[in-house]
Homo-oligomer: A and B are copies of this chain.
Amino acid sequence: MKITRLDQVEKKELVSDEVQGVTKQLPIGKADGAPNFSMRVFSVEPGGYTPYHSHPWEHENYVLAGRGVIRTESGEERQIQAGDFAMILPGEMHQFRNTSESVLKFICMVPREQE
């Protein structure tokens, strides 16, 4: 059994033309023996964003802090805030954007082979 908190987990900045102001943490993953899925946490600075992309696996999300939007397949921007759960299906275009003045932080679960 592993019990941990975000302040004990290494933070890595994502560097790419498609990403701005995003760091990633991996509180639970393969290295912990997770047989099926990994729990990642992304922190997005005000004005920051993740890539607008799709992939053949899902995301299951929980918003820990802040507010922002998820840009959908159709380009619509759906509001999210602390306490929201989101399910992004395999193949769906998506992008997380922080439209607020404070950090947007969310859990993003993926199948273990993707992380």
Contacts and interface: CB of A to CB of B under 8 A. Distances in A.
Interface string A59-79: 010100000001011000010
Determine the interface band of chain A, counting residues with CB < 8 A from chain B: 35 or more
A1 B109 contact: no
Given A1-B86, A62-B107, A37 B36 contact: yes
B37 A70 contact: no
A83 B28 contact: no
Contacts of A14: none
Contacts of A111: 36
B92 A1 contact: yes
Given A3-B85, A4-B84, 8 more contacts: A1-B86, A5-B85, A33-B89, A34-B60, A36-B36, A36-B58, A39-B62, A39-B85
